[in-house]
């Protein structure tokens, strides 16, 4: 298990209207994949706009440990990759810290190599289920040499001489599982097929094509996507522009909606439809969000968002929308705490296996701050109090427990900006995994947070 810094509590207070222009850091999903695919492809990859959060840096370190050369020139990251099929055996365990995406995708990537690789992580990552990735890898012939109980880290993998191509129907809506199987397919002879009944973020498919992989996608009559990857092809380095992360933009966005008098612009936000479920939901709740300057950035749609304080109403968020806003439920729950009536979020079973059990963490934190809510097995209902009277007040011993989860910390700090009483979270360290600039950026907008 990796070393943990001592907890650093943080507090936020009711703030005057937020204002100004901000730029959120690069998208985490695309940043991880940029380091991985750039590290694997032959020749040079140049990345601008990369998220320099701890999670992504761990992926960079792992790729370096397997032979990629990674450095920075000015604002650009420059990578010389090994070439597909030519990763080296790492001499020490790969330490992924808090990062589920980095570790799960890399398990797929290296599982198909005839070498031994060990994966370790922090207390949160060591509790997360890895069987969802190990199961298809086992079907491809990968040996799980060691794993803690319940297929958890530390995990040691050893690939066979040649992995077998499989057809794998992903049993849960997970871009990580889809991606892990496709990445194993990169070093597998023949065609590896992933069937995805419910579409999840498509960054792996789009980016692999950009690097030159042969990949076909077909949607069947039931709406399932069949993704076929030709193994052992050539991948070639390229230039990548990483757009702003909609999952990070979600925090200033919700803050501006709930703090009276706010009017802000968030620039350069990724608008890929597999990622915009939160915006769809907030618009249904009556949010004032304008899309300015829509444009293409390196093959992805981006826009600047103008967000103004809004009187929100509760809505029902259907289970089908979950994959397109899976990381945004904690902060949506904060918006719901200020909405008129009830917001019902359905289909949340996957929230239980994120950096923390987010369904329970959100419900306990809301209760501790006077918000009326009900936690079900796979749903959350929040009954709001427009104006925020009586809300907040978690402090000292009763600070919100963040369970090493960056999004729980940021969500509750957003709640405190509009609640009557301050909100304290027990640890803000983990925010650096995905959004190191969060505190400074929020303060630049006028938020009382620190």
Residue from 58, 127, 201, 309 in contact with ligand S3P (CB under 6 A): 201
Q: Which stretch binds ligand S3P (CB under 6 A): 47-55, 111-119, 175-183, 306-314?
A: 175-183
State in angstroms the smallest separation of the CB of 416 from ligand S3P: 24
Q: Give yes or no for a cis peptide into 264 (omega within 30° of 0).
A: no
Residue from 327, 328, 405, 437 in contact with ligand S3P (CB under 6 A): 327
Task: Judge whether 301 and 248 are in contact, CB under 8 Å.
Answer: no
Query: By C-beta, is 181 or 363 nearer to ligand S3P?
Result: 181
Q: How many residues bind ligand S3P (CB under 6 A)?
A: 10
Site string for ligand S3P, 225-244 (x = CB under 6 A): --------------------
> For residue 287, what are its two tokens?
């949010």
User: How many CB atoms lie under 10 A from the CB of residue 116?
Assistant: 15
Task: Judge whether 142 and 163 are in contact, CB under 8 Å.
Answer: yes
Residue from 101, 248, 369, 394 in contact with ligand S3P (CB under 6 A): 101
Torsion of CA 352, 355, 359, 365, to 10 degrees: 150
Q: Which stretch binds ligand S3P (CB under 6 A): 169-177, 267-275, 276-284, 340-348?
A: 169-177
In our burial notation (b when 16+ CB lie closer than 10 A, e otherwise), range 359-387 reads: bebbbbbbebbbbebebeebbbbbbbbee
Sheet (strand 372-375) strand order: 316-317, 342-346, 379-383, 372-375
Query: By C-beta, is 369 or 434 nearer to ligand S3P?
Result: 434
State in angstroms the smallest separation of the CB of 166 from ligand S3P: 19
Residue from 50, 134, 175, 382 in contact with ligand S3P (CB under 6 A): 175
29 is a contact residue toward ligand S3P (CB under 6 A): yes
Query: By C-beta, is 56 or 419 nearer to ligand S3P?
Result: 56
Using CA atoms, how far apart are residues 52 and 420, in angstroms rounded to an integer? 34
Question: Quick check: is 327 catalytic?
Answer: yes
Residue from 31, 84, 106, 179 in contact with ligand S3P (CB under 6 A): 179
Which residue is catalytic, options 27, 202, 327, 405? 327
59 is a contact residue toward ligand S3P (CB under 6 A): no
DSSP bridge partners of 430: none
Task: Judge whether 243 and 28 are in contact, CB under 8 Å.
Answer: no
Q: Which stretch binds ligand S3P (CB under 6 A): 152-160, 161-169, 171-179, 263-271?
A: 171-179
Residues near 64 by beta carbon (within 8 Å), at least 6 away in sequence: 39, 70
176 is a contact residue toward ligand S3P (CB under 6 A): yes
Site for ligand S3P in 342-401 (CB under 6 A): 350
User: How many CB atoms lie under 10 A from the CB of residue 89?
Assistant: 14
DSSP bridge partners of 229: 192, 215
Q: Where are the alpha helices (DSSP H) in 140-221?
A: 175-185, 203-210
Using CA atoms, how far apart are residues 326 and 101, in angstroms rounded to an integer? 14
Residue from 22, 24, 326, 373 in contact with ligand S3P (CB under 6 A): 326
Residues near 149 by beta carbon (within 8 Å), at least 6 away in sequence: none
> Residue 253: in which H helix or E strand, if any?
helix 246-258
State in angstroms the smallest separation of the CB of 350 from ligand S3P: 6
448 is a contact residue toward ligand S3P (CB under 6 A): no
Residue from 34, 174, 343, 424 in contact with ligand S3P (CB under 6 A): 174
Query: By C-beta, is 323 or 388 nearer to ligand S3P?
Result: 323
Residues lying near ligand S3P in the complex (CB under 6 A) are found at 29, 101, 174-176, 179, 201, 326-327, 350
**Active-site residue numbers?**
327
């Amino acid at each position: 298990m990796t070393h943990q810094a001592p907890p650093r509590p943080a507090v936020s207070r009711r703030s005057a209207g937020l204002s100004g222009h901000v730029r959120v850091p690069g998208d985490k999903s695309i940043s991880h994949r940029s380091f991985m695919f750039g590290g694997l492809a032959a020749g040079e990859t140049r990345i601008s706009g990369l998220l320099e959060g701890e999670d992504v840096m761990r992926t960079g370190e792992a790729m370096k440990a397997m032979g990629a050369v990674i450095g920075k020139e000015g604002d650009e990251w420059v990578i010389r990759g090994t070439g597909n099929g030519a990763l080296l055996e790492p001499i020490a365990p790969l330490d992924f810290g808090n990062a589920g995406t980095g570790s799960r995708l890399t398990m797929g990537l290296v599982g198909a190599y005839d070498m031994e690789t060990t994966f370790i992580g922090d207390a949160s990552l060591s509790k997360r289920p890895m069987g969802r990735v190990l199961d298809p890898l086992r079907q491809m012939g990968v040996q799980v040499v060691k794993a803690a109980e319940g297929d958890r880290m530390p995990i040691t993998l050893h690939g066979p001489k040649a992995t077998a191509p499989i057809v794998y129907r992903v049993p849960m809506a997970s871009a990580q599982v889809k991606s892990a199987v496709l990445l194993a397919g990169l070093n597998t002879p023949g065609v590896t097929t992933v069937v995805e009944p419910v579409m999840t973020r498509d960054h792996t498919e789009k980016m692999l094509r950009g690097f030159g992989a042969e990949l076909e996608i077909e949607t069947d009559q039931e709406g399932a996507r069949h993704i076929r990857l030709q193994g052992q092809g050539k991948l070639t380095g390229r230039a990548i522009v990483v757009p702003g992360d909609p999952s990070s933009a979600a925090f200033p966005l919700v803050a501006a909606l709930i703090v009276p008098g706010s009017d802000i612009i968030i620039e350069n936000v990724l608008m890929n439809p597999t990622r915009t479920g939160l915006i769809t939901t907030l618009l249904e709740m009556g949010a004032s969000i304008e899309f300015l300057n829509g444009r293409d950035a390196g093959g992805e749609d981006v826009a600047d968002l103008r967000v103004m304080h809004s009187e929100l109403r509760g809505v029902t968020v259907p289970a089908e929308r979950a994959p397109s806003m899976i990381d945004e439920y904690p902060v949506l729950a904060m918006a719901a705490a200020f909405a008129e009536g009830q917001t019902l979020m359905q289909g949340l079973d996957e929230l239980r296996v994120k950096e923390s059990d987010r369904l329970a963490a959100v419900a306990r934190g809301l209760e501790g701050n006077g918000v009326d809510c009900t936690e079900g097995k796979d749903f959350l209902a929040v009954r709001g109090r427009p104006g925020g009277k009586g809300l907040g007040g978690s402090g000292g011993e009763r600070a919100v427990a963040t369970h090493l989860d960056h999004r729980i910390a940021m969500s509750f700090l957003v709640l405190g900006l509009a609640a009557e009483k301050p909100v304290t979270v027990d640890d803000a360290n983990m925010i650096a995994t995905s959004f190191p600039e969060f505190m400074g950026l929020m303060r630049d907008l006028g938020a009382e947070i620190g």
